[in-house]
A and B are shown apart, each in its own frame.
Chain A
Amino acid sequence: MSITLASPVLAILGGVWALLALATAVVWWLAPAPDSELRQRVRSWWLIVALCSLALMFSRAAALVFFGVISFLALKEYLTLIPTRQTDRRVLFWAYLSIPMQYFWIGIEWYGMFIIFIPVYLFLLLPVAMVLTGETQGYLRAAGTLHWGLMSMVFSLSHLAYLLVLPQGEYAHVNGPGLALFLLVLTELNDVAQYCWGKLLGRHKISPAVSPNKTVEGFVGGVLTTVLLAALLAPWLTPFSVLDALLAGALIAVAGFFGDLSLSALKRDLGIKDSGNLLPGHGGILDRVDSLTYTAPLFFHFTRYFYF
């Protein structure tokens, strides 16, 4: 079964491109220096939006491979940042191999395996592989940090991909790419909105120890913006009632905020500012998918519980 792209998805994608064009014009006018961070960030956005549009428009398989590659890059960036033991090289190799497997379960719509493969099987098996190397020094830290990475970068992010294969056809105008697009657009715009409101009105720091740039004003402005956008987009892309659309928007906004904070805490713990340099102006890939690691599973279960 291939996914058919309903015209609402194309319309919203068109809207995203138009919004990005507008943002580009504004940033080019605000930040005249050709290599300013803001301009780099907008340039990277073009790449992200182009790749996501292609992945969502092409086919289900293309979208699954694309999201699998995102998980791979995120896990690789995470494993590059954290200290790992040389004796665990084989174990890390198996951890990487779990990515094609996890996305394969999604491809064959095996929900039961998708939902326990990493939290149960890998949680038990990868430590076995570590034990078999015979190295006990740093065992708990190695097993714990590896599992945290797999849960965030593979398990959590793969919920975005499972939206693509939720039973189709139950609602006339709703399809997988539409739900994924709804989650992606709201998560990313929530980040942008919190940043913009924080820059405009930010006064009171919300978590000075973890992320000094986050403010109460940015958070509240972001939540309100995202709730409003959710209400506007939901009739196009989701089966949600108005009330559920507002709830989904609030869920994404709050979850995204904590996903962002969680990665900030990780970076602070490791003593780094950016997670990498794959996306100029943003940092690494973790700097971009941090919110998604929280919004994807929560939004997925909200949608699945109430509508599928």
Chain B
Amino acid sequence: MGYAALRWLFFLLIVKPFLLLAVGVNVRHRDRLPAAGPALIVANHNSHLDALVLMAMLPVWLLSRARPVASAEYFLSNRWRAWFATRVIGIIPVATSGVRSHADVLGPVRDALAAGDIVIFFPEGTRGEPERLGKLKTGIVWLAQQLPTMLIYPVRLHGLGKVLPKGDWLPVPFFCDAWVGEPLHWSGDRRLFLAALSASLGG
């Protein structure tokens, strides 16, 4: 597990100091976060920093089990990015374009959860405008249905879209907030489930 050590070092020496000094994320209800896998952490998505912040919120011993779901088109687009994303960060790459069934696209995510991983998932599908929750896609419903007893941990992020918005590479310091909501699981009703999730993500 050489890559686990690399990820640990990357978070300890780069991500955590950067988030502490340059950003400053105020986490509320950290105690609600999962203490072990399998678990699905979902959040609103405005910045490349989102996944790093969510991973850094977990206790360090869970870092090796954390797997953010990310776009294969973007993160596998060149060798170095692919190496870094899949090996150091440990993303689960999924296809985000083309007409495919949920099982085709999200099968690997379900498998990772079944194996006990802590999966980080952005139900909006892509980074949107800062502080405006986009429409949740149906992938989250499919995942919840596949594993109906699994707990889903909603985290509402605020400010990271100002620190590093879509289309920019230069981070600018601002304080940010992360609210961990009450965990929920598949309720059996698609509309109610999406409404509850949307509400806890600030929709």
Contacts A76-B24, A86-B165 given: A276-B175 contact, CB under 8 Å?
Answer: yes
- The answer to whether A304 has its CB under 8 Å from any CB of chain B is no
Stretch touching chain A among B86-94, B112-120, B166-174: B166-174
A77 proximity list for chain B (CB < 8 A): 175
- Cross-chain contact of B172 among A72, A73, A93, A276 (Cβ < 8 A): A93
The total of Cβ contacts below 8 Å across the A-B interface reads 29
Question: Shortest Cβ distance from B163 into chain A, in angstroms?
Answer: 10
B138 proximity list for chain A (CB < 8 A): none
- The answer to whether B26 has its CB under 8 Å from any CB of chain A is yes
- The answer to whether A42 has its CB under 8 Å from any CB of chain B is no
Contact across chains for A89 and B172 when beta carbons are under 8 A apart: yes
Per the bound structure, the CA–CA distance linking A90 and B168 in Å amounts to 10
Contact across chains for B170 and A93 when beta carbons are under 8 A apart: yes
A278 proximity list for chain B (CB < 8 A): 24
Per the bound structure, the CA–CA distance linking A80 and B174 in Å amounts to 5
Total interface residues on A, CB under 8 Å, equals: 16
Contact across chains for B173 and A89 when beta carbons are under 8 A apart: no
- The answer to whether A45 has its CB under 8 Å from any CB of chain B is no
Least CB separation from A90: chain B residue: B170
- The answer to whether A247 has its CB under 8 Å from any CB of chain B is no
Contacts A86-B165, A277-B26 given: A76-B170 contact, CB under 8 Å?
Answer: no
- The answer to whether B123 has its CB under 8 Å from any CB of chain A is no
Per the bound structure, the CA–CA distance linking A72 and B170 in Å amounts to 18
- The answer to whether B159 has its CB under 8 Å from any CB of chain A is yes
A89 proximity list for chain B (CB < 8 A): 165, 168, 170, 172
B174 proximity list for chain A (CB < 8 A): 76, 79-80
B24 proximity list for chain A (CB < 8 A): 73, 76, 278
- The answer to whether A231 has its CB under 8 Å from any CB of chain B is no
- Cross-chain contact of B173 among A86, A90, A96, A277 (Cβ < 8 A): A96
Q: Mark A46-87, 1 if CB is under 8 A from B, else 0.
A: 000000000000000000000000001100110110001010
Q: Mark A250-290, 1 if CB is under 8 A from B, else 0.
A: 00000000000000000000000000111000000000000
Least CB separation from B175: chain A residue: A80
Least CB separation from A79: chain B residue: B174
Please report whether the interface of chain A is mostly helix, strand, loop or mixed according to DSSP.
helix
Contact across chains for B173 and A76 when beta carbons are under 8 A apart: yes
Per the bound structure, the CA–CA distance linking A96 and B174 in Å amounts to 11
A150 proximity list for chain B (CB < 8 A): none
Q: Which of B1-38 contact A (CB under 8 A)?
A: 24, 26
Question: Shortest Cβ distance from B47 into chain A, in angstroms?
Answer: 13
Contacts A86-B165, A277-B26 given: A80-B159 contact, CB under 8 Å?
Answer: yes
Q: Which of A82-104 contact B (CB under 8 A)?
A: 84, 86, 89-90, 92-93, 96
A76 proximity list for chain B (CB < 8 A): 24, 173-175
Least CB separation from A88: chain B residue: B172
Question: Shortest Cβ distance from A69 into chain B, in angstroms?
Answer: 8
Least CB separation from A73: chain B residue: B24
Per the bound structure, the CA–CA distance linking A79 and B175 in Å amounts to 9
Per the bound structure, the CA–CA distance linking A72 and B173 in Å amounts to 9
Question: Shortest Cβ distance from A39 into chain B, in angstroms?
Answer: 20
B168 proximity list for chain A (CB < 8 A): 89
Contact across chains for B175 and A92 when beta carbons are under 8 A apart: no
Q: Mark B158-198, 1 if CB is under 8 A from A, else 0.
A: 01001001001010111100000000000000000000000
Contact across chains for A96 and B175 when beta carbons are under 8 A apart: no
Question: Shortest Cβ distance from B186 into chain A, in angstroms?
Answer: 34
Question: Shortest Cβ distance from B21 into chain A, in angstroms?
Answer: 8
Per the bound structure, the CA–CA distance linking A53 and B168 in Å amounts to 40
A73 proximity list for chain B (CB < 8 A): 24
B175 proximity list for chain A (CB < 8 A): 76-77, 80, 276
Least CB separation from B24: chain A residue: A76
Per the bound structure, the CA–CA distance linking A89 and B165 in Å amounts to 10
The chain B residues found within 8 Å of chain A, CB to CB, are 24, 26, 159, 162, 165, 168, 170, 172-175
Task: Using A72-B173, A80-B159, A92-B172 as known contacts, list a sample of 10 further A-B pairs with CB atoms less than 8 Å apart, ordered by residue number in A.
Answer: A76-B173, A77-B175, A79-B174, A86-B162, A89-B172, A90-B170, A96-B172, A96-B173, A276-B26, A277-B26
Can you pick out 23 interface pairs between chain A and chain B where the beta carbons lie within 8 Å of each other? Answer: A72-B173, A76-B174, A76-B175, A77-B175, A79-B173, A79-B174, A80-B174, A84-B162, A86-B165, A89-B165, A89-B168, A89-B170, A89-B172, A90-B170, A92-B172, A93-B170, A93-B172, A96-B172, A96-B173, A276-B26, A276-B175, A277-B26, A278-B24
Q: Which 6 A-B pairs have the closest CB atoms?
A: A80-B175, A80-B174, A76-B173, A89-B172, A93-B172, A92-B172
